[in-house]
């Protein structure tokens, strides 16, 4: 049901803006103060998703906000007011990007590039911040070509400006994004930079937690190219040994029954398994559930899990404490690690298009990307919402 109160409020603001803009074309002109007042009203409007009608009205309000800010800018002489108006442009475009509005991302990028070298340090800093956000978004959306630019932007930011916890968190997310794009050297470089900066900070719980996360990530990246032995007890009571996978390309899929993205990716893994299984491709799961009965019931009902899943009989070695999870420093689900025929780690992010690219390179003569495997989705930790950038929601929202 449409929230009539909200819709009437939005339409009232839009009507007032229309009258203001119309009057601005005649005489006398609308004062900058009145326009700022209207811009602030638009900034305070909630981004309701209760109905398509409310979403449409909200999108219209942000477009009006953008046009109004752009229209009043040439007449502004006060620098503080100019900063506010430019910030309204950035924020309206950011909100449109969150709604996946066509052209909003390119508009935000163009705005950021036009001000990143501005003489006003505040405006330039805002533009550079959005540049980093957009680059991280593009890398997370699967554009691996943007990886060097993201690394350069974040590395320069860490060098040039004062260090704080928020900056460290964004840099850490950028490093994780580079890791998921399989740009391990770039990811390791950011982790090294972060590690050095964190070591110079005064001790605090936030700094210590970040330092531990960075240390774990550096250790995880160090396993690329190393040999991993697959062995242990499966959830059905079988015993796996390394010889079971001799000469095979192996996908190690870390999953849990409570992880919705894990469950949604299983049909894609099953399709890859059916296509390449007789050519030397194998899949081994590592079940991260705490209770075996829950996991066994899920496997019994599932139509997609056609491979063994490791599971420790020791209650102290379950979930993220499983020996293989600890060896690979697994902290997010879903995570999939790909090994070559000699057991060496090829990829720490063998999901979606990454997995497809590796399997095509290993088994197919035609070097093209299949269209039946969707791009990698978002990550989630147990009990948390899917991971999102600090200031922009993901463009792909199918995992929420």
pLDDT by residue for the chain (400 residues), tens only, comes to 444 444 444 444 444 444 444 444 444 455 888 888 898 888 888 876 657 788 888 999 999 999 999 999 998 989 999 999 999 999 999 999 988 899 999 999 999 999 999 999 999 999 999 999 999 998 988 888 899 999 999 999 998 878 889 999 999 999 999 999 999 999 999 999 999 999 999 889 999 999 999 999 999 999 999 999 999 999 999 999 999 999 999 999 999 999 999 999 999 999 999 999 999 999 999 999 999 999 999 999 988 898 999 999 899 999 999 999 999 989 889 999 999 999 999 999 999 999 999 999 999 754 444 434 333 333 333 333 333 333 333 333 333 2
Token pair recorded at residue 295: 């996991």
Q: What per-residue confidence (pLDDT) applies to 95? A: 92
Containing H/E element for 155?
Answer: helix 147-160
- CA dist 296 and 278 (Å) reads 26
Does domain 4-182 sit in CATH 1.25.10?
Answer: yes
Q: What per-residue confidence (pLDDT) applies to 48? A: 66
Q: What per-residue confidence (pLDDT) applies to 364? A: 78
The position carrying tokens 């066509």 is 102
**Closest C-alpha to 279, from 213, 365, 214:** 365
Token pair recorded at residue 335: 């995570």
Pairing of strands 309-310, 281-287: parallel
Residues of the chain with CATH 3.40.30.10: 232-363
Q: Is the dihedral of CA 101, 106, 110, 112 positive or negative?
A: positive
Pairing of strands 281-287, 249-255: parallel
Q: What per-residue confidence (pLDDT) applies to 361? A: 92
- CA dist 47 and 217 (Å) reads 36
Pair 45, 54: CB distance under 8 Å: no
What is this structure's pTM? 0.73
Q: How many residues are listed for the chain in this entry? A: 400
Give Rg (Cα) of the chain. Answer: 25
| Long-range contacts (CB closer than 8 Å, 24 or more residues apart) made by 61-67 | 61/10, 61/13, 61/14, 62/92, 62/95, 62/96, 63/92, 63/96, 64/14, 64/17, 65/39, 65/92, 66/92, 66/93, 66/96, 67/21
| Long-range contacts (CB closer than 8 Å, 24 or more residues apart) made by 130-138 | 130/90, 130/94, 132/157, 132/170, 132/174, 133/389, 133/390, 133/391, 133/392, 134/105, 134/108, 134/109, 134/392, 136/170, 136/173, 136/174, 136/177, 136/389, 137/105, 137/389, 137/392, 137/394, 137/395
Token pair recorded at residue 243: 């010889």
- What's the CATH number for 232-363? 3.40.30.10
Cβ partners under 8 Å of residue 109, min gap 6: 131, 134
What mean pLDDT, rounded, does the chain reach? 83
Q: What per-residue confidence (pLDDT) applies to 119? A: 94
Residues of the chain with CATH 1.25.10: 4-182
As a 3-state breakdown, the chain gives helix, strand, coil percent values, each rounded to 5, of 60, 10, 35
Token pair recorded at residue 158: 């860490």
Token pair recorded at residue 133: 């956000």
Pair 358, 338: CB distance under 8 Å: yes
**Closest C-alpha to 336, from 288, 388, 385:** 288
Q: What per-residue confidence (pLDDT) applies to 29? A: 53
């Amino acid at each position: 049901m449409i929230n009539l109160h909200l819709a009437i409020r939005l339409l009232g603001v839009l009507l007032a803006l229309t009258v203001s803009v119309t009057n601005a074309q005649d005489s006398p002109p609308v004062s900058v103060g009145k326009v700022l007042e209207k811009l602030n009203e638009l900034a305070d409007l909630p981004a309701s998703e209760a109905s398509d009608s409310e979403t449409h009205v909200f999108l219209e309000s942000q477009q009006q906000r953008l046009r109004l800010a752009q229209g009043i800018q040439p007449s502004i002489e006060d620098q503080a007011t100019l900063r506010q108006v430019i910030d309204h442009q950035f924020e309206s475009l950011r909100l449109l990007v969150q709604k996946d509005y066509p052209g909003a991302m390119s508009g935000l990028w163009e705005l950021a590039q036009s001000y990143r070298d501005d003489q006003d340090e505040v405006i330039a800093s805002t533009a550079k911040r959005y540049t980093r956000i957009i680059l991280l978004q593009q890398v997370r959306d699967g554009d691996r070509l943007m990886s060097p630019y993201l690394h350069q932007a974040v590395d320069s930011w860490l060098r040039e400006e004062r260090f704080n916890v928020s900056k460290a968190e964004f840099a850490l997310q950028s490093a994780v994004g580079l890791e998921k794009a399989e740009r391990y050297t770039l990811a390791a470089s950011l982790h090294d930079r972060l590690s050095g900066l964190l070591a110079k900070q005064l001790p605090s719980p936030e700094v210590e937690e970040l330092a531990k996360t960075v240390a774990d990530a550096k250790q995880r990246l160090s396993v690329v190219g190393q040999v991993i032995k697959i062995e242990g007890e499966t959830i059905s009571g079988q015993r796996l040994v390394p010889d079971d996978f001799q000469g095979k390309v192996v996908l190690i899929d870390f999953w849990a029954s409570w992880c919705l993205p894990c469950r949604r990716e299983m049909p894609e893994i099953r399709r890859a398994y059916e296509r390449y299984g007789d050519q030397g491709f194998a899949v081994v799961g590592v079940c991260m559930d705490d209770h075996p009965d829950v996991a066994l019931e899920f496997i019994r009902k599932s139509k997609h899990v056609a491979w063994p899943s490791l599971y420790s009989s020791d209650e102290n070695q379950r979930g993220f404490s499983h020996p293989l999870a600890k060896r690979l420093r697994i902290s997010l689900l879903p995570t999939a690690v790909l090994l070559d025929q000699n057991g060496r780690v090829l990829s720490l992010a063998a999901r979606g298009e990454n997995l497809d690219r590796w399997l095509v390179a290993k088994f197919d003569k035609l070097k093209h990307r299949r269209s039946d495997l969707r791009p990698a989705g978002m990550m989630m930790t147990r009990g948390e919402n899917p991971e999102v950038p600090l200031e922009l929601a993901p463009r792909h929202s199918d995992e929420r």
